[in-house]
Amino acid sequence: MSDYEAPLWEQMKSCMRMLDTALLECKDRGSRMVACKARYYSVKSQHAFQMREKGFPVTFIQDVIKGVPEVNEAMSEYNAAEVEYENAREARNVVKKKLDTLREQYAREWSQAKED
């Protein structure tokens, strides 16, 4: 039996469980994104400082640093973590919207049952 064939209350309970899972996933992915961001900025600043000490012009460093393999890898990890977090947030929002729709349907059916 699919979710849509189940009684409305069962669908709501299933949706609430999915929302709990989605919230935990957002937390985990958000934590990973923050860690990747910190690593990226740390690696980037270390290399920028080294380049500055070697006499690179400051205006030149911001462009060249993106080509440093370690900085590029950290930036890629951060970007990937950010996309994963945004996907988890979007999934959470979809589940919230579905739950809201089910609650509205439940309220309509409940009010109709009271009138009958």
Domain ranges across the chain: 20-115
Which parts of the chain fold into alpha helices (H)?
Answer: 8-53, 58-64, 69-115
Q: Is the Cβ–Cβ distance between 99 and 16 less than 8 Å?
A: yes
Residue 1, pLDDT score: 53
pLDDT value of residue 112:
79
**What is the Cα–Cα distance from 87 to 22, expressed in whole angstroms?**
10
Residue 25 is predicted with a pLDDT of: 96
Model pTM score: 0.78
Instruction: Dump pLDDT digits (tens) for 5-28.
Output: 678 888 999 999 999 999 999 999
